[in-house]
Amino acid sequence: MRRPTQSPRGGSHVLLCGIALWGSVLAQTARAQTIEEDRRQNQSVLDLERPGYEPRTLKLGDVMLLPELDVGATYNSNIYAAHVDRRDDIVTSIQPRVSIRKDEGRFQWLGELSGDIRRYASNSRENSESYGAAGTFKALLSQELTISGTAGYQRAVENRADPEVRQNPTLGPPLFDMLTGKLEMKLTGSRIGFSLKGEAEKYDFVSRINDDRAFTSYRGTARLSYRLSPMLDGYAQVYVNQRDFRLRAPTTGASRDGRTIGGLIGVQVNPGGKLRGEIGAGVFRYKPESSLFRSFSGFALEGALIYSLRPRTALILDVFSGDVATVRNGASGRIDRSARLTVQQEIRHNLIASAALRYRQTRYRGIDSRLNTFSGDLDVEYLLNRHLALALTGQYSKRTGGSAPDRFDRTRIGVALRMRY
């Protein structure tokens, strides 16, 4: 690792002076947002207040506790997302969750604990237990300066429909551990805003046959924004993403580490009208560490926009285009492009629904393989009272392209009882 030329004391002094200078330039009319305000701005139609059906909260001083429990059963027509020799099954799931938060004062935090116990009626090898913990904090240092961060751990089950998954039913579900961390600084004024964000993610698979898939990702992002109008900000963003794999390529011994540098120009629509969210487009350049792989460039796109047709109706568009990690044999890189359109609707005061259409294209470089996945999702929830809700869920997925083992289609239909305190 390259060492800085400045001493830690000198570097901190320069950073603090820079922050102070920037803060003096920014106007004093802006105000840092609290965790609760952030949550309300991004609140789903499904989570809006409904008089008579609001779940209770346990309050210990200025700390709130929100326990939840979902119990459900789902029919899966193709549990291994296989092209041939398909197996269907009924999966029972028990999902407890607890949220603890303090959203008052200058220092606020949110903690979450969750779990998922899955049991298959016929294919007991697929039984699994996953769990996780995450914490978020926000420090409101002034009206213009906010420091926030998150940290989390999750023992997760890999989706059998993932393009990189290694299907081996005799070994049970692919389990992996994920560690994540993020630290962000935001300076916001009436016209100009600036943010710096650092993120780290570590993926470690439980089974040794997936050791070559273990990697750590580091990402740094800087954004400069300018207030174009009370409802609209323009921004320019640059980022660097470094991926370090635990093992080299098994066939060639080449390093699979690589670095991506990219930039986006976009707009952010501030809350207050029918449209909110942000979207940006640009380019990226991927440079592998090994000379056996070739560098490549591509189109970058990131964004999520929410359009509220009415107070209880929303359209949500999520889009992405960029490079992602891959260990596929012969591939020098992977580019994913995805889009999801979701409709959320309150049909009646105690009947809410969400439907989504999704598309993802996975394209590998170095080998002739392009996968197209189409999906549709439906979730209808009937609130029985403030504590109980009955939900019906459905999903259909179909993947085309590539070789025969890459193609599949499957249907999932489920029912769940959702309990809130």
The model's pLDDT over 157-213, given as tens digits with 9 standing for 90+, comes to 999 999 999 888 888 899 999 999 999 999 998 899 999 999 999 999 999 888 999
Give pLDDT tens digits for 280-316.
999 999 999 998 888 999 999 999 999 998 888 999 9
Give pLDDT tens digits for 225-243.
999 998 999 999 999 999 9
Least confident of 93-97, 306-310, 337-341, 370-374: 306-310
Average pLDDT over residues 34-39: 53
Would you say residue 323 has pLDDT above 70?
A: yes
Q: Where are the alpha helices (DSSP H) in 261-318?
A: none
Confidence of residue 41 (pLDDT cuts 50, 70, 90): low
Higher pLDDT, 210 or 97: 97
Q: How far apart are CA 67 and CA 54, in angstroms?
A: 13
Higher pLDDT, 222 or 45: 222
The fraction of the chain above a pLDDT of 90, given in percent, is 68
For residues 94-131, one letter each, b for 16 or more C-beta atoms within 10 angstroms of the residue's C-beta and e for the rest, the string is: ebbbbbbbbbeeeebbbbbebbbebebeebeebebebe
Which own/partner contact pairs does 399-405 have at CB distance under 8 Å and 24+ positions apart? 399/81, 399/161, 399/371, 399/372, 399/373, 399/374, 400/371, 400/372, 400/374, 401/369, 401/370, 401/371, 401/372, 402/369, 402/370, 402/371, 403/369, 404/83, 404/84, 405/83, 405/167
pLDDT of residue 40: 54
Q: How far apart are CA 305 and CA 273, in angstroms?
A: 12
Average pLDDT over residues 394-414: 94
Q: How far apart are CA 93 and CA 393, in angstroms?
A: 13
Query: pTM, whole model, 2 decimals?
Result: 0.84
Would you say residue 90 has pLDDT above 70?
A: yes
pLDDT of residue 60: 83
Higher pLDDT, 330 or 120: 120
DSSP output for 154-186: EEEE--TT-TT----GGG-S-EEEEEEEEEEEE
Q: State both tokens at 12.
A: 């901190």
Average pLDDT over residues 7-26: 37
Would you say residue 259 has pLDDT above 50?
A: yes
The mean pLDDT of the chain is: 88
Average pLDDT over residues 396-419: 94
Neighbours of 48 (CB within 10 A): 14
Q: How far apart are CA 31 and CA 101, in angstroms?
A: 21
Q: In this structure, which amino acid lies at residue 32?
A: A
**Domains of the chain in sequence order:** 8-420 (2.40.160)
Would you say residue 351 has pLDDT above 50?
A: yes
pLDDT of residue 233: 96
pLDDT of residue 186: 96
Would you say residue 265 has pLDDT above 90?
A: yes
DSSP output for 346-382: EEETTEEEEEEEEEEEEEEETTTEEEEEEEEEEEEEE
